[in-house]
Structure 1
């Protein structure tokens, strides 16, 4: 159920910011951004910081890899808004739409590194079953991922299992393909802050 608060529950300064963004970008402010401005002290500021660190903080996973993880987790959770937003961002980051689609369709046969394939399998299990075991971690390590890469991937998983559920709980509006492309360009240029 979409809450009316996402449409008009903001201070005057925030409404002005949304109007300026729409004026200069030519696209509406996505609901993901609107949610961050709603009660920033309770959710927004902390979520922005955590998501930024997971998606753009120091990591040996590339930005493209982490955006692909976000798109994959969103696909597993059937979150239309997040699938489209992060598929567009991963596609722009990799500059390879066929690769992104191959991973989202079947990561086992996609042309990706063994480390990424094993990591995606671990994230899939965690997303679908809310648990992982030491065996999952050992499989990812055996595929060549480092302990820090596992921690970094788990941070992406935590961020997007939260975000996809919020997107569906708040019934985020699905934007036009052009708006998702513009959002992807923004995310790659300006990060997740």
Structure 2
């Protein structure tokens, strides 16, 4: 359900700011950014802080690896917007064919065994959470993933299980590939904090 307040802004200040940012960037401000202006104190500021910590805070995972995790969680949730957005960010720091290979089939993609094992864990966590067990965590740890790295991956997946669902619930508009690319540049530079 598309909310007009998110599309245009819920206050006159936010309307002006959304319009200004869209004008300066030369593109429509993506809905993910527009949501950040909607009831900031209730949702966007805390969610932005949590997302920024998971995606840009200290971690054994690179930014590209965390963006790949986000894109895969989006794929498992069938969220085209989030697949496009986070695939574009990952492609800014690694080769696009590698990103596409992971999105097509992470098990055969040219990524580390630790990342494959972590994605296998996150897949169960996302698609079949009631089946997730200590053995799944142990399998990831046996691949060389540390407890800290697995906890970070769980944080990424948790955040993007929420974000993918609200992106679809709010019917985010699909940017073009060029707009995703431009937005990815901004996300790499600014991060996720509101």
Q: TM-score range by the shorter chain?
A: over 0.9
TM-score (norm 2): 0.96
CA offsets per residue over residues 93-135 of structure 1, 9 Å max, x none?
Answer: 21x1111111111111111111000000000111101242101
Match of 1:10, SS state, is coil
Query: Map of 1:1-193 to 2, 5 A cutoff?
Result: 1-94=1-94, 96-131=95-130, 132-193=132-193
Structure 2 Cα separation of the partners of residues 37 and 151 of structure 1 = 29
Structure 2 Cα separation of the partners of residues 47 and 33 of structure 1 = 12
Match of 2:150, SS state, is helix
Structure 2 Cα separation of the partners of residues 177 and 188 of structure 1 = 16
CA offsets per residue over residues 54-82 of structure 1, 9 Å max, x none?
Answer: 00000010000000100111111110110
Task: Please provide the CA RMSD for this pair.
Answer: 1.0
Indicate conservation of the 8 Å contact 2:9/2:18, yes or no: no
Structure 2 Cα separation of the partners of residues 133 and 7 of structure 1 = 41
TM-score (norm 1): 0.96
Q: For structure 1, which runs of at least 5 residues remain unmatched after alignment? A: none
Q: For structure 2, which runs of at least 5 residues remain unmatched after alignment? A: none
- TM-fit CA distance, 1:178: 1.2
Indicate conservation of the 8 Å contact 2:36/2:44, yes or no: yes
Indicate conservation of the 8 Å contact 1:67/1:87, yes or no: yes
Q: Which runs of 4+ in 1 moved over 3 A?
A: none
Indicate conservation of the 8 Å contact 1:93/1:188, yes or no: no
Match of 1:156, SS state, is helix
Between the two proteins, the alignment pairs up a number of residues equal to 192
Indicate conservation of the 8 Å contact 1:70/1:157, yes or no: yes
